[in-house]
Structure 1
Amino acid sequence: MPEHVLAGPDDDTELQAVLSWFSSHPVAHLYTEAIRNSIDYVLDGGRTGRFDLMSPDVHPGERASVGAKLEYEVLRIFGLPKAKPLDTLITNVPVDIKATIGDNWTIPTEAHCQLCICTQIQLKKNRHRSWLVRTHRSWLYRGKGNGDGKRGIAVDARNNWSVPLYDWADLPVNPLRHLSEEQAAQVLARKPGQVKRLLMMFRFLEGHVIPRNVILTVGAGRYDPMRRARQARDTAAKEGLTLLCGDRAESRDQAAARGITLQNSEWIALRDGTDGGGE
């Protein structure tokens, strides 16, 4: 962009237009979904059996790639187009989408002085937040930046000249992370078969909502884990453990009667007279 007058958020008409567009959306909720999907995509639990992005068997480059995947998840979930000159257009205003699992973002040359959505993901604290900011060159760190000319945002500029899209929001924890090391080893072992290992998981995680991706992770590389989960119902029932799946209206009603909301493809194991207490 050519030289221009620095404008604060209140005087930036494009920023205010984009902010107004977001005001009609449950931004924190939708970003939570987008980040969760991005992490699941990178872990690829259905093939690798991985469930923790902070695990030593996840390469740092894979963790960093969550941001790249998040861009496409945000576009999909918010129904935004992929459009040049940046990542998308919101109310016909170019907007770049950035995310970091650290403390700063690398702003490419083409996004200097443009509007950026900057998301910070804190994996150890299981939370995230996002700002809308115009990345004026005057607010970027001086120097040549990295080899691509990318530069980080000065902390004072982020704190004083950005507008929060939402404050810290919780990032759901993969239920498998609640297992002890010994329990996880049993559930993710190659033997016994899927049904027995899924039963172990449901016992260990009684009361926790289990997303579909967790079932696929336990059955990583095996045939039709979802069918095996359904087959586990009868054996679980003999133990006094009821397996509910959100795909069935009856199960959703049973869960709702206990104060639990089950979405499609979500599971929960409950004993008679108990309520769900997990995440």
Structure 2
Amino acid sequence: MAKNSIDAYGASGKSNVLYFDPEVLTLVEDQAHPLYDSRVHLPLDENMVRNIMYQGVLQAIEVNKNPETGNVEVVMGRQRVKNCREANRRLRDRGEEPKLVPAIVRKVAARDRALVLSAATASENAIRQQESPITRAEKMARQLSLGRSEADIGILFGVGLQTVRASLELLECCAAVQDAVEAGKVNVTHAKQLAKLTPDDQRAKVAELIAAGDGVNGHERSRKQRAVMGDGKPRMKTRAKIEKELETAKGERADALRWVLGLAEVGEQSSQPEEQEAI
């Protein structure tokens, strides 16, 4: 006698997957709605469209039926739905069968709907997908307005409390700073510092940061932008980096490194105490 799927695979349970025409699914674009996600406005992904045309949507999305409107709203999987719609348009033009979207229903009590669904959307997207610092900050602020604590928000987004607070500070920056962060031209640490300035000073300083980083990348860009922020001094090396350097260092340099690591003899420490700051 054939085993059921739970026994055959050794699973602990199973759920029912439904299949939808993507056109009947609702993508929420109302910013006041608990399921709103700004990435619903992202452009189509040509690679995803072509992939769906070839093999369909392989990973199930999540949906919830709005008890007030009767609409089946997408909780997770907006991009899959959007790109499947375009894939189906092309398939129909070629006279081929359109694809259906597999979905799992997320059941939520009506009284908890706004809080639970908004948290689900924010948490899943933040942890699974790379998103901009500003987008994440906006989602954190939304959770804060719904009554969640900063600690709870940290759990939802998979980050620490300090990261939550730092992210929220980004929303206190003027548009010029936020745009620079979104474009990857200014890092979050510098943006946090700029938030303490007046809007005019923020705009002036962010222009300097962008100019300093123009045409350079990596450590050179970081060094130049730190100098703009008045922090051009070298950063202290970690113990691991000093130990790595000690492997190839010789002579006085090696002695200095050993002293910093606490490996030098007591009698040797007095001869080179000033070396620690120079390393």
TM-score between both structures, scaled by the size of structure 1: 0.25
Higher alpha-carbon Rg: 2
Highest RCO, 1 vs 2 (Cα 8 Å, sep ≥ 6): 1
- Of Structure 1 and Structure 2, the greater helix share is in 2
TM-score of the two chains, using structure 2 as the length reference: 0.25
